[in-house]
Structure 1
Amino acid sequence: MRNSQARWRRLCIGVALTGTLSVPAFAGAAYGTVATGPFGPPGTAATASPESPTSTAPPPSPSGDEFAQLSPAVDAQLDDAIRQVMQEANVPGVMVAVSAPGKGQYLRSFGVADKATGQQMSPNLYMRIGSETKTFTVTAMLELVDQGKLGLDDPIGKYVSGVPNGDRITLRELAGMRSGLFNYSADPDFDKAFISNPDHPFTPQELLDYSFKHPVNFQPNAQFEYSNTNLILLGLVVEKVGGMPLQDFIAKNVTRPVGLRHTIFPTDAAFPDPHAHGYTNQTPTGQIEDSTDWNPSWGWAAGAMISDLQDMRTWAKVVATGTLLTADTQAQRLKTGPSGIPGTGYGLGIFNVQGWIGHNGSLPGYESLTIYLPEHQATLVVLLNTDVLHDGVEPSTLFGQAITQIVSPQHVFNLPTSTEPHASASASTSASSSTSASSPGS
């Protein structure tokens, strides 16, 4: 199967191959832009074509550890960098939002949302967000910690029976990707089941069964390894302790309280309109297909959710600053351990890459990146409609690197590549090695 299980379920942390794509190395350059589209001033354009002419020499670099002033000149530089990534990585469409207090904002969409009709990408479209779902599931679990209904150091066996090492693996180790449990999405039988019928509605127990037939990869807390299995278990914990289905708990306690009106945890393949079509080569032949309506149930608590650009802009700050949690619980969330990736640490369902805090996501046809830079209160969101790798690198990572080279040259989102094959990780690389990171995503 074309080593497909080494590529399939990419619901993990994104690892970028630095320098693989000839992204302009605007190190130290300050670029900015004005807002466009439905979130910008009346009369501004929402969509930019990758072919449209670009301009201008870069303005002076920010001095020291500054964030670029977003201005029309920076607008042009960001446009150029995004178009270049699109062209070289063959990305059909992408939407990008960058903002920081006192620095302005940049809101753009490029390319097409539907290759068959030529419909343009626009900032108001729903998108699948893959492993960014993990940030919602872990937030729900941490809310239950704040309510005193569970403890981070409780063993998973207290809530779910039949887990290998269930008497020793804690909820903290599950959320921090240090459980040692085999990643179900790397199992060959799961791969065959999904690739033969991507419309199949998987249950959480089916997903766990694919994992639990394998021995553990290491003992609890011995090392870092991204595993979607961890989040399926945490989703079951939220359901049991919260007393309602996971999608209902997240809606009631996570998305609604912070005003996320377009963020949905689907229970089937339903996709609200308007939405972008997604394109993947994770197919039996390796040819690119439209995966828009594939059932995301295989990702469940690890990667099934849907959102839009405006909601993810809000969520970037909420999850990074702990709006829904106590200060102590948020501090525990942000305490990162080594991930095996230089400059990158992984906390509880969240990463820190060169100071940018958040997560990425990838599942067939879609990728996302939602990150926040606390010292500048800066937000970056990237949503795109393909998960096809470019020289082994997630396109979301390439966009993140190109954009942050411009706006925050002292904090470049530069996840280096792993030497391991690209395996069941989303937003990044595979977690096939105990020290390699997998992409957050679905």
Structure 2
Amino acid sequence: MKPTHLRLRRACTAAAVTGALVLPAAAGTAYGATAPPPSPSATAPSDSTAPPSPDAGGHFPQLTPAVAARLDAAVREVMRETGVPGATVGLWAPGKGAYVRTFGVADKATGAPMKSDLHVRLGSETKTFTVTALLQLVDQKKIGLDDPIGDYVTGVPNGDRITLRELAGMRSGLFNYTLDPDFLKKLEGDPGQSFVPQQLLDYSFRHPVQFAPDQKFDYCNTNLILLGLVVEKVTGRPLHDVIARDVIAPAGLRGTFFPTGAQLPDPHAHGYTDQTASGRLEDATDWNPSWGWAAGAMTSDLQDLRSWAPILATGTLLTPATQAERLKTTPMDLPGTGYGLGIFNVQGWLGHNGSLPGYESLTVYLPQERATMVILLNTDVVHDGQEPSTLFGQAVTEIVTPGHVYPIHRPLVPRPG
């Protein structure tokens, strides 16, 4: 079988800080400016017009036209290097302004431009919603973080030892089903087919455990499938209904959905991937994300993700005690990075990223500045061993928060053969 990406398996920052999505005319505003923002098609500002760099503490500059021009130029350069069809980049910092831009095309066939209101697939950002639903049950005293998964789901290897906390924190030792060769072959043969959670677990459980529970961090989508089943068992409701009613609605999100099939709400960006049987680039817009389920099936848009970032990072939907547990991180491979319970901390940025065929997203919040960054891309094609969303995140943060720059020092884990 040819090498396969299926980057949902590693759509987390330790592996490459993944998950983003870009367009050609200015579809947003650099607020705080006294003049209209430059079009992304305009030339980059000269050195004489560039503002001084922000201080090393990472404080945001005022998002003036000059800063917006620097960001435009940086984003365009990443697009040129990576060949990303379309991207949306949003930055919001109270008292400093906002930057919302779209670049490139949302549909390569028609040339329709990327727009800031388009829906995209979230990939592993779904984990933030699933774990939030789980933690709400902790707050309701219906479950405990240190309960063994075997109390809720039978047949789990080491199920009497692996806790819900270890599943949410990626320390279970279970095999990641998205690395199973038979799973990859089946999905590659028909990307439109539907999977159910037990099928996904079966692919995982045919493999021995990788290590004893809580021995180390290892990003694994199997963990989230199990947590989704816990939520369903305890609530007696389907996971998509729990997330819709108990997480999305209280958060005030109107453009975020957990599809039960291949649905992607209109308007949406077309997504492009090379994770295909032929290895050629294909339109993956209508591929069925059911294989990601609780780990990666959701969809959203820019404005909802802008709202979700601070809700997730500050624990709006949880008690302070439970949020504190969520933010206890396990160190990852890159300096300054750690993973909590369905959330990462990368140089102070709290949130998650996502990547699956056709799309990448990155949604993070920097508490020191009360700043939000959202990046949405309509491709997941790797560039020189790096997820494109990571490259966009680095380019943006080098300008606005040099003390909190996204690291990209480690290449992707090799693709399974």
Q: Same fold (TM over 0.5)?
A: yes
CA distance in structure 1 between the partners assigned to 2:175 and 2:127 by the alignment: 17
Q: After superposing the two structures, state which structure 1 stretch, 244-253 or 6-15, moved more.
A: 6-15
- 2:113 is matched with 120
CA distance in structure 2 between the partners assigned to 1:284 and 1:413 by the alignment: 33
Q: How far 1:45 sits from its partner (Å)?
A: 8.8
Change (3 A) 1:322 1:306: same
CA distance in structure 1 between the partners assigned to 2:94 and 2:29 by the alignment: 19
CA distance in structure 1 between the partners assigned to 2:291 and 2:251 by the alignment: 27
Q: How far 1:11 sits from its partner (Å)?
A: 5.0
CA distance in structure 2 between the partners assigned to 1:39 and 1:273 by the alignment: 26
- Alignment of 1:344 with 2:318, yes or no, is no
CA distance in structure 1 between the partners assigned to 2:378 and 2:317 by the alignment: 30
Superposed counterparts of 1:349-364, under 5 Å:
349-364=342-357
For residue 46 of structure 2, the aligned residue among 29, 52, 56 is 56
- Alignment of 1:385 with 2:384, yes or no, is no
- 1:430 is matched with none
Note the residue ranges of structure 2 that are not aligned, 5 or more in a row: 18-25
Q: How far 1:372 sits from its partner (Å)?
A: 0.5
Q: How far 1:123 sits from its partner (Å)?
A: 0.3
- 1:95 is matched with 88
Change (3 A) 1:38 1:244: farther
Q: How far 1:242 sits from its partner (Å)?
A: 1.6
- Could you tell me whether the CA contact under 8 Å between 2:397 and 2:405 is conserved in 1? yes
- Alignment of 1:187 with 2:180, yes or no, is yes
- Could you tell me whether the CA contact under 8 Å between 1:401 and 1:413 is conserved in 2? yes
CA distance in structure 1 between the partners assigned to 2:80 and 2:69 by the alignment: 16
Query: Identity, % of aligned pairs?
Result: 64
CA distance in structure 2 between the partners assigned to 1:142 and 1:48 by the alignment: 43
- Could you tell me whether the CA contact under 8 Å between 1:134 and 1:303 is conserved in 2? yes
SS of the aligned residue for 2:374 comes to strand
- Could you tell me whether the CA contact under 8 Å between 1:358 and 1:371 is conserved in 2? yes
- Could you tell me whether the CA contact under 8 Å between 1:109 and 1:123 is conserved in 2? yes
SS of the aligned residue for 1:381 comes to strand
Q: After superposing the two structures, state which structure 1 stretch, 236-245 or 62-71, moved more.
A: 62-71
- Could you tell me whether the CA contact under 8 Å between 1:185 and 1:228 is conserved in 2? yes
Q: Once the two structures are superposed, what CA deviation does each residue of 1:165-208 show, in whole Å capped at 9, x if it has no partner?
A: 00000000000000000000000000000000001100000000
CA distance in structure 1 between the partners assigned to 2:249 and 2:227 by the alignment: 21
CA distance in structure 2 between the partners assigned to 1:119 and 1:169 by the alignment: 48
- 2:405 is matched with 412
Q: How far 1:152 sits from its partner (Å)?
A: 0.2
Q: After superposing the two structures, state which structure 1 stretch, 238-247 or 187-196, moved more.
A: 238-247
Figure out how many residues of one structure are paired with residues of the other and give that number: 404
Change (3 A) 1:12 1:94: same
- Could you tell me whether the CA contact under 8 Å between 1:133 and 1:303 is conserved in 2? yes
Letter matched to residue 61 of structure 1: S
Q: How far 1:216 sits from its partner (Å)?
A: 0.3
Moved over 3 A (4+): 6-11, 14-18, 35-41, 44-49
For residue 218 of structure 1, the aligned residue among 208, 211, 226 is 211
- Alignment of 1:2 with 2:26, yes or no, is no
Q: How far 1:270 sits from its partner (Å)?
A: 1.2
CA distance in structure 2 between the partners assigned to 1:314 and 1:241 by the alignment: 28
- 1:12 is matched with 11
Q: Once the two structures are superposed, what CA deviation does each residue of 1:128-166 show, in whole Å capped at 9, x if it has no partner?
A: 010000000000000000000000000000000000000
- 1:438 is matched with none
Change (3 A) 1:274 1:16: same
For residue 136 of structure 2, the aligned residue among 143, 147, 171 is 143
- 2:225 is matched with 232
- 1:200 is matched with 193
CA distance in structure 1 between the partners assigned to 2:303 and 2:354 by the alignment: 17
Change (3 A) 1:83 1:418: closer
For residue 236 of structure 2, the aligned residue among 239, 243, 247 is 243
- 1:306 is matched with 299
Q: CA RMSD in A?
A: 2.1
- Alignment of 1:331 with 2:321, yes or no, is no
For residue 400 of structure 1, the aligned residue among 384, 393, 402 is 393
Change (3 A) 1:285 1:48: farther
- 2:21 is matched with none
CA distance in structure 1 between the partners assigned to 2:414 and 2:232 by the alignment: 34
Q: Once the two structures are superposed, what CA deviation does each residue of 1:240-266 show, in whole Å capped at 9, x if it has no partner?
A: 112210010001110111110000000
CA distance in structure 1 between the partners assigned to 2:13 and 2:142 by the alignment: 32
SS of the aligned residue for 1:283 comes to coil
Letter matched to residue 37 of structure 1: G
- Could you tell me whether the CA contact under 8 Å between 1:126 and 1:306 is conserved in 2? yes
- Could you tell me whether the CA contact under 8 Å between 2:334 and 2:407 is conserved in 1? no
CA distance in structure 2 between the partners assigned to 1:295 and 1:45 by the alignment: 41
- Could you tell me whether the CA contact under 8 Å between 1:99 and 1:378 is conserved in 2? yes
CA distance in structure 1 between the partners assigned to 2:98 and 2:105 by the alignment: 22
- 2:75 is matched with 82
Q: How far 1:414 sits from its partner (Å)?
A: 1.0
SS of the aligned residue for 2:249 comes to helix
- Could you tell me whether the CA contact under 8 Å between 1:47 and 1:109 is conserved in 2? no
Change (3 A) 1:323 1:17: closer
- Could you tell me whether the CA contact under 8 Å between 1:317 and 1:372 is conserved in 2? yes
For residue 150 of structure 2, the aligned residue among 135, 157, 162 is 157
CA distance in structure 2 between the partners assigned to 1:238 and 1:11 by the alignment: 23
CA distance in structure 1 between the partners assigned to 2:29 and 2:186 by the alignment: 41
CA distance in structure 2 between the partners assigned to 1:249 and 1:388 by the alignment: 32
SS of the aligned residue for 1:250 comes to helix
